[in-house]
């Protein structure tokens, strides 16, 4: 029995669900991008709100005190078509050294098991340096990140091999 997979399985109207939530996941403290993701964002004319943390890994400079992503305007993502993988996979997140987890925001109740597993596998397959940068990013946001994330319940996702 996988306790991390919710029972409601309908994948309906994610835009409506996320709009009513006012983009809580974009107010946790920025996001991390690979070299290709970073280039896709800045080379399509978007402002560069990143800093390089290591070779091929970039981190968004989030805005305090609310932890807002700089690309969020009026609760909408201004780089939606080129947003990084971590943003596209939410509410599935990968916790370094532990594995994939499901953040129980409203959208999580509307995703199918197949979608959740697919997202978990995609996040788990990211190169190690990206996963390390994500962990480092969370450490830098420290207690503020944890406090913001604690608004949600979080479940481990078991992936059967």
- 105 lines the binding site for ligand SF4 (CB under 6 A): yes
Distance, in Å, from the CA atom of 70 to the CA atom of 29, rounded to the nearest integer, reads 10
Distance, in Å, from the CA atom of 22 to the CA atom of 24, rounded to the nearest integer, reads 6
- 23 lines the binding site for ligand SF4 (CB under 6 A): yes
- Strands (DSSP E) contained in the chain are 32-34, 50-54, 57-60, 72-73, 76-77, 92-95, 99-103, 154-156
For the CB of residue 71, give the shortest distance to ligand SF4 in the complex, in Å.
4
Select the span of 101-109, 113-121, 130-138, 143-151 touching ligand SF4 (CB under 6 A).
Answer: 101-109
Task: Return the residue of 32, 57, 72, 134 that touches ligand SF4, per CB under 6 A.
Answer: 72
DSSP state of 111: S
Taking CB under 6 A as the criterion, which residues in 41-60 touch ligand SF4? none
- 119 lines the binding site for ligand SF4 (CB under 6 A): no
Q: How is residue 139 written in tokens?
A: 């450490």
- Phi/psi for 38 (5° steps) reads -60, -45
> Contact 29/41 with Cβ under 8 angstroms?
no
- 154 lines the binding site for ligand SF4 (CB under 6 A): no
Select the span of 21-29, 50-58, 129-137, 140-148 touching ligand SF4 (CB under 6 A).
Answer: 21-29
For residue 72, count other CB atoms closer than 10 A to its CB: 19
List contacts with ligand SF4 (CB under 6 A). Answer: 17-18, 21, 23-26, 31, 69, 71-72, 77, 79, 83, 87, 90-91, 105-107
């Amino acid at each position: 029995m996988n306790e991390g997979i919710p029972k409601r399985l309908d994948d309906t109207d994610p835009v409506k669900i996320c709009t009513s939530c006012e983009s809580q996941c974009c107010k946790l403290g920025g996001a991390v991008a690979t070299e290709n993701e970073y280039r896709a964002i800045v080379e399509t004319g978007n402002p560069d709100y990143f800093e390089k943390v290591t070779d091929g890994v970039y981190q968004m400079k989030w805005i305090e005190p609310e932890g807002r992503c700089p690309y969020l305007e009026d609760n909408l993502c201004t780089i939606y078509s080129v947003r990084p993988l971590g943003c596209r996979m939410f509410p599935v997140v990968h916790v370094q050294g532990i594995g994939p987890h499901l953040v129980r925001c409203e959208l999580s109740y509307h995703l199918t098991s197949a979608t959740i597993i697919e997202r978990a596998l995609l996040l788990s397959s990211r190169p190690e340096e990206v996963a390390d940068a994500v962990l480092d990013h969370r450490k830098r946001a420290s207690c503020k990140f944890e406090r913001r994330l604690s608004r949600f319940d979080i479940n481990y996702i078991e992936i059967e091999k």
